[in-house]
Each structure stands twice: as structure tokens, then as C-alpha cells.
Structure 1
């Protein structure tokens, strides 16, 4: 899509959502009075301010107005419901902690969910009529792999992304020399037997993903890659797991978990591709 068209579309969606959110809040205040719930002006202003803050946090976390989310309707819907759910939880927690008004929290939540459901139905109906010319764009890729065979297999697929912006994460600093020209970050080497390092690895992987905000996460394992898949799933990022060629008899434990989380899971052994979500497309070594 042309830059001006994309910017206009993102701005319009953000503006209409902002207006809708305020309408929902004041509708909540109105219906709350029907139940004998009254708020003073300071309380209302504070409530409005926190509503705005929680909405900014939730939409930023799930990239509701990102250019890559706007690019596809299904991504808008996923980001919308993640954002709305997180916003409702934050705002309801605030209302209950300050005023302990469960009726208002319920009314507001119902109005917001209904309002955004209606707005997205309208979006679905009108979007085909706009006929914007979407163009192919490069996605930012975050590639994660542990040292050893996992890293070697990851490098084998990198020629597929030679025209993409790829950032790497692994658990050995010297591997940076094998991906010159690309951003590279390290995380602690972790496994289930090293609880402290595992916690440090979780924190670092989460931090890097929140900081980098990739559009696709691809990994050949093991623990850091699985953590990346999990965080990507929560944030609505596209995720791909490639199970190691060393797992000839069955999927690895991490691969079995990734089956439930990743958008696409690949095995390098044809006889293991017995599940609809498990794909065989050859091997890397």
C-alpha cells in the first residue's frame, strides 16, 4: 500500500476507535445512574484519564494500529480482541480497586465489547469497497536458535530471507560472527535443570521481542526458541517452528509444545508428518 494510504487508514482506525471508546465510557456512566451509581466530577475525569492510558497500553502491546496489522483484516480482528480484552481487564481492575463498583465494571465491559464487535462488522463490510492497492512488503524476521545443530539448521534457511530484515538471537556471543550485517542478541543458556538461567532467559527473550516487535518469529529450537514462540503467540506475532533433524523417531519435547502454540510447525522427517498442523517440506542437512 502507498505510504499516504496506509497512514490515512491507520489514522482513521485509531480516531474512530478513540471516539468509540469515549462513547462507550459515557454510555457506561449513563446506564450506571439507572442502577443508582453516581460519580463525582473528579472521579469521572480520573476514570477517563485511566481509560485513555489503559487503551494506549493495550493497543501498543498488541500493535492494533501497526502498519503490518492494518495490512490484513484478520490481523486487525485478532489485535482488536486482544487489545479490548486487556483494556477491559485493566480498566475493570482500576474501577474495582478505587470504587468497588462491580455493576459499572460489568456495564462498561459489555458496552465496549458490543461496540467494538459492531465496529469490526462495519469494517468487514466496508473494507472491500475501499479497494486499496496493497503492495508486498518485507516483514521483519526474528530468528532464534540455540548453539550447535539448532544454529546450523537456522543458518541453512537464511538464503530464503536474503531480501528481508532479519535479527538473530542465540545463547553464544561468538555466533555473531556468522551473521555479519545482521543485528544479533544473546540470551543465557537455559534448560529445565537450571531454574535461575531459565528465568533470566525468559526475561531477556520477552524484553527483546517487546523491544524489537518483529512481524515473524522463526526458530529451530530449543528453549529460547520455544520461549520466543510463546511470547509471539501472546502478542499475536506470526510464529514458525522447525523441529531439529536429530529428532528422527518423534518430535522433541519443545516441538510437541510448539505444536499447540506456533502458527506453523515443520518436521524434517516425512514419516513424522502425521498431524494436520505438522508439515514436511524436506530437510536442512
Structure 2
């Protein structure tokens, strides 16, 4: 616990916000084996580091493992992650795939490249969870992801829905969790910089050219008009998602 006193404000904010959501949703239990889907970006890498730190705080033992599925645009991009997990003493599975090029090829004629690539990646992550007998698959979605997804669902699908903090798959054999769902990206960026995490650039040709990017830019414009708008939206969605999650917990036998 003494090492926690040396953390910066942003690092403590990441660890405490993640811990709050984990506690309120009863996300983890003794013996949990967590696979963290690490893309190399700030969100998932910061989540991996924060969960590694939280292991020393939890009152029961858990295991944390990094899972990286390289989409294949830059085959050597994951080398810094391989070195980092070795230095941190973390287990990891790192592999190179052709998901990205396939998503942008004639093989994918019906879906967007992002949808196709994400589908392949998630399927592979599920397979890895089964292979390593993991109980949880953690994604690094943050508060901005929650807000963008909510408005995307409203605008495109006519559905009031955001992102689940914890959701059962395969008859409860695996939980997909998003421990950083209420954490603002600015704290993740600052903490990642202070921890010296070896992030790398997303070289996907579709990066920044998606509908999600358009919704994000629209929201940022609205947030810039009035200082309180961002926090009001985040507060509303935090309450909404937490109430839904806790309602699902009370309905369990």
C-alpha cells in the first residue's frame, strides 16, 4: 500500500474510479482471472496498468493477463508491449493476425471495415479466454466511449442504450467488463504519460473516418458551447448505466 502514496492525482483518479465501479457492480470475486484486451492505445493500456496496481488493494486474489491481437497493419507495433509486460511481470498473449487487411479487402463487401475487424478480433479474444480459462474479458472503454455510444444508439438505431459495465456471456462462463466506463479520458491520458506507458499509433486506414468519429466531433462541439454540458451528460449517463447494472444484480437469484 505504501507505493500508492507516490501516485499522481491522475493515477489515483484512474485507480479509484475503476475501483468504485468494480465495487458497485460486484464485478470481480475471489479467484477472478482477467484478460485485458490491449490495443496499444491509451485507454486499454491505462486500464491494464491500473488493474495491475489494484491487485495489491483488493482483499482477495485475482490474476491479470494482457491479450493483444495485432490487426496486421504494422506487424512490429506490439514489440513495446511485449517488453513492458515482461518488465511488469504480467502474463500476456500477443499474436499477429490479418484481420485489418481482410476487413479492407473484397472479402468484406457487406459491412464497414471497423465492424468486420472488430467482429474478428472479439471472436479471437473469446477463443483466448476459453484457452486460458479466463473468467473476465476487460475492455478499456471510458466515459467518452459511453457518451458517444449512447448518442449513436439514439441517432442511428432509435434505441436508448449505452455500454454495459458488466455482462455475462456463454451462460455465465465469461463476464465482459468495462471497469473504466465512468473514467474521463483526460485522466487516462495523463496517467499513461506519467506511468511512461509505451503507447503506439493506430495505423488503420479507417482511423478517424468513422461514424463514431463524427458523433464524437459533434458532441465535442456541443460540449464547447457550455462548460457544464459535458459533466451534465456524463452525470446523467453514469446514473442511468449504474441504475441499470444494479437493477440487474438485484434480479439475480
TM over 0.5: no
Larger Rg: 1
The alignment's TM-score, normalised by the length of structure 2, stands at 0.37
Larger fraction in helix = 1
The alignment's TM-score, normalised by the length of structure 1, stands at 0.34
Higher RCO (CA 8 Å, separation ≥ 6 residues): 2
